[in-house]
Structure 1
Amino acid sequence: FGTKPIHSTYLIQKANFIGVHQFGFLERYDVLGVAEEGGVLLLNSPYAVDETWEHLPRIVQQQIIERKLKVYVIDAYAVAADQGMAGRINTVMQTCFFAISGVLPREEAIEQIKYSIKKTYGKRGESVVRRNYAAVDATLANMFEMKVPEKVTSTIELPPAVPGEAPAFVQDVTAMMIKGEGDLLPVSALPVDGTYPTATTQWEKRNIALEVPVWDPDVCIQCGKCVYVCPHAVIRSKLVDGELLADAPDGFLTADSRWREFPDRKYTLQVAVEDCTGCQLCVEVCPAKNKQAVGRKAINMEPQLPLREEGARNWDFFTKLPETPHVDTLKWNNVKNVQLLQPLFEFSGACAGCGETPYLKLISQLYGERLVIANATGCSSIYGGNLPT
């Protein structure tokens, strides 16, 4: 850090402090590519400080060792949750930064952070301010310096930005943007007329949710409200013939159909765990309560990491099952039936819990490729844009 103020915007070429607030970013971006030798890495990790090293990708371990980085670890989400602020880690990570960087004396920095909290959140009530204060006070006791081993031990390799079966354009152009390397693309790689392909969100697996919904078929009444309300179309349902499930992967859940029109079919509800944002709207809207477990419903939030691999296998199998056609057998003026229709607006970049995108998803289910949409500038032009997807 320098002694003179910065009067313009500059891209960082060498960083002596790097904060990684989402552990999953280590799998997606070269976050240490600009790290200066002897710099500091602050890592928000879901693992204990003595367990974090073994969960780092090989290339990250290598960069830490080669550049002699100091590494500090904190489970910021746990700190925030303990103070009743689940998911809100900004003040926690900010406190870590000032404690490590020395930009201000530690006591003065904490005093200024609390002043900022009071100014920013005071209108939300004293309880919100107190919880933020408590999170700040608990931060330093939960931040630890990691002892960096001398050798790389990880066998974890960075996954490709997009799957191998993605179209050529997605492989060559979109993948570069997803990795944050779009500036390296030559002009010749871009579409001549500026027309970009659609349906590309399916290839970008962001893995940003800490928790994802898990379906309980024994409690479910198959109302479709969770499918209907999901802003990112990550919850889907289908009615399929039983013989199509012969090759279903282990853990692929189904239930007997509750449709009078299709009594012999199987109902399945699946979640795209890698695309979910963890907003919990599905749980809030679910009307089916588990009578054997207080507080549980037909859909409940569970940690994403243990479910990621199985969820990806189930989703892949689910997408290969036939879609429900627009047939006259069913009426499409109710939520229960509409849940079976394929949405053509999926996995957008909208905020978690967005209230706009469910409407776009719904009209894409009802009218599909017959739609002509004129869009005005606003949120819709951001989450509906396809750069990267």
Structure 2
Amino acid sequence: MGFACIVDPPRDGVREAVDACHSAGINVVMITGDSAATAKTIARNLNILGPNSLVVEGGQIPELSDDEFARVNVFARVNPEHKQIIVERYQSQRKVVAMTGDGVNDALALAMSDAGVAMGITGTDVAKEAADIVITDDSFASIVTGVHEGRGLFSKIRMMVYFYIAINLFESIVFFGAMFILPSTITMLTPWQSLYLVATTHSFPGLALVFDKTSPHAMEERPRDSEEIITRPLAVFMVLNVALMAFGAAMAYFLTYTGWLGIVDIYPENLEGFYTIVTRPAKATIMMLTVILLLESTIVFIIRRINMPVTKSIREPGTIRYFVLIGLVYIAHLGLMYIYPAQEILDSVGLKFYFMPLTMYDWVICILLALPAIVGMELYKRRLRKNNITL
């Protein structure tokens, strides 16, 4: 007498993928036609079953209360009609449902779910047609990888929307406010200075966000509504950020233009550039542009991983791209200030940027005026983390 045992073990990496889903707030549910005992054993090996999880057979689904249904992580002895009921009940509880399947009997549930995922190798043509996504390697781990990349893409979209709304609001407050305060004879920005602002601080920091890598910690954040681009906490964060940035830039212009308390003056070093005649309004503009450079080049580091301290986010993969792209902006800014032949060449073809060299003291003033927005937002993020509020 002898025994023959046949085992179809889970693929490598599936248990780790299930654990990643749990850390991401995704509830993994097994739906199978196998017996409850078999399904329970497999689910336990894959860490799908939790301490309070239930295992039920398809015929028992209509008898379950909503609370009991929410605790089910394994559905056994399921037929196509049961799969339809399962998807409908989850959706009635306002859950976002992703359904995987490979057979003809999965087609209806795949079509009904919010995200139908069919298997590319073993899947039937009917299942592939009904699904929204086809996995070419039939691996559950590939689905989790897709979720990870999707979260990274969604985070990029949110932060790019935030960046461009914030900097445009900030500059609108400064420039439109100046129209009502400054004399009509004073032009805060020349046309070429406006173009310079658009071509540098509006472009390269945004490109850094576009080409950023997905955070390894993306699967540790809670699921979000796909329409939840600017949440209420993020809107409050933006208002505070815009206010602090506008204060810093406006103060740079005000202190230089008025010479208030002698904090900022015109120094001999300011006259050593290509433009030897420097007025207070002209220097005030360059001081303000320098503060804008400091603010808009650092805001991307603050919001890149907005729920992390910047000291941690700069150690994430892809940071070098930020330094390269933003470094180009600083090279352009410093080149216009201190490489006098560059100004001469540009001026000869009509590109008048009117940059003058700033002293070390001028730079210290600019940095001090930018610090409230930089340090203030990091401190505010720290307060939110202590209160378990995510942005």
TM-score by length of 1: 0.23
Which entry has the higher C-alpha Rg, 1 or 2? 2
Question: Between Structure 1 and Structure 2, which shows a larger proportion of strand residues?
Answer: 1
